[in-house]
Amino acid sequence: MQDAIAKIDPSFEQSTPYLLALCAYLSKRQAYKLLIELQVFMKDHVRAGLTCIRQFSLVRDTVLQLSYLEAAKVRADAAVVSPLVRSLIQRWRTMYQSNFQESFNVPQNPYVGAVLQTSDASRKMQSVQLQIEVTRFFYSEMKTGIPESLASINIFGTADEQTTIAEQVLVLGNFELAFKLIQSLRLNGSQVYPAATQRLARRSKRNPNAVFELLKLFKVRLAHSAGLMMIVLL
């Protein structure tokens, strides 16, 4: 089908409404593999990347999770286009978006035909890279008894879920990754640091050095914020 469309309608001028309707159908049926193939064929790399992240969130196998995250990085990189191509795609969206909505009666999809500025793609790829690091770290630490609740959340979720992940990473001793999460996701350190310190103290009663090591790192990292350091100590 793709070869035929590419030959008959290489600019997608006639086939766009039908392709978008097919995307909506595949998404509704959760046929994500076929959906990604179609989105890439349409050069809708932003939406394809989001579909990869959706697949990541639906599986529990670490190898599959990492493969979907790596695919999302590729799509984010492909979504960066020149200003000229960006203007052409915007014109395409203006021409066909309204007709598509009226003809097929589906919710507006802000990602259809979307492209990313270089800075936007960089942020998206940074988030995906962070999740890759978190996934690999949790996988390596499974033997320590990661709470089952962590299996269903990721850094693409709510602020509370992001905070829970950063706190757990901190408790497990990966201080560098935890600080990276807090800084990149702009989490509330006054919430993460004290909670993590208290949890680490409870689980390290026989090994207080772990708490001392954490406090030493806080002293270095939070040297610029005496107030936040005081909250941690309290």
- Asked whether residue 110 falls in the same domain as residue 30, the answer is yes
What is the model's pLDDT at position 104?
Answer: 37
- Asked whether residue 85 falls in the same domain as residue 147, the answer is no
pLDDT band at 219 (very low <50, low <70, confident <90, very high): low
Q: What is the pLDDT of residues 94-127, one digit of tens each?
A: 554 544 444 434 334 443 444 555 556 567 778 8
- Asked whether residue 80 falls in the same domain as residue 26, the answer is yes
| Residues 162 and 155: beta-carbon distance below 8 Å | yes
- Asked whether residue 218 falls in the same domain as residue 117, the answer is no
Examine residue 103 and state whether it is found in any structural domain, yes or no.
yes
Domain enclosing residue 180, as ranges? 142-233
What is the model's pLDDT at position 208?
Answer: 64
What is the model's pLDDT at position 124?
Answer: 74
Examine residue 199 and state whether it is found in any structural domain, yes or no.
yes
Examine residue 128 and state whether it is found in any structural domain, yes or no.
no
Examine residue 132 and state whether it is found in any structural domain, yes or no.
no
Residue 207 CA to residue 203 CA, distance in Å, equals 8
Task: Tell me 57's DSSP state.
Answer: H
Examine residue 135 and state whether it is found in any structural domain, yes or no.
no
- Asked whether residue 108 falls in the same domain as residue 154, the answer is no
What total number of domains does the chain contain? Answer: 2
What value does the mean pLDDT of the chain take? 75
Examine residue 134 and state whether it is found in any structural domain, yes or no.
no
Examine residue 203 and state whether it is found in any structural domain, yes or no.
yes
Q: What is the pLDDT of residues 159-199, one digit of tens each?
A: 999 999 999 998 888 888 998 999 999 998 888 888 887 87
- Asked whether residue 99 falls in the same domain as residue 148, the answer is no
- Asked whether residue 67 falls in the same domain as residue 178, the answer is no
What is the model's pLDDT at position 62?
Answer: 86
What is the model's pLDDT at position 144?
Answer: 58
Residue where a domain terminates, one of 121, 156, 180: 121
- Asked whether residue 210 falls in the same domain as residue 151, the answer is yes
Residue 50 CA to residue 69 CA, distance in Å, equals 10
- Asked whether residue 91 falls in the same domain as residue 163, the answer is no
| Residues 155 and 127: beta-carbon distance below 8 Å | yes
- Asked whether residue 68 falls in the same domain as residue 14, the answer is yes
- Asked whether residue 57 falls in the same domain as residue 97, the answer is yes
Examine residue 207 and state whether it is found in any structural domain, yes or no.
yes
- Asked whether residue 184 falls in the same domain as residue 218, the answer is yes
Residue 128 CA to residue 57 CA, distance in Å, equals 12
pLDDT at 234 over 60: no
Helix (H, G, I), strand (E, B) or coil at 5: helix
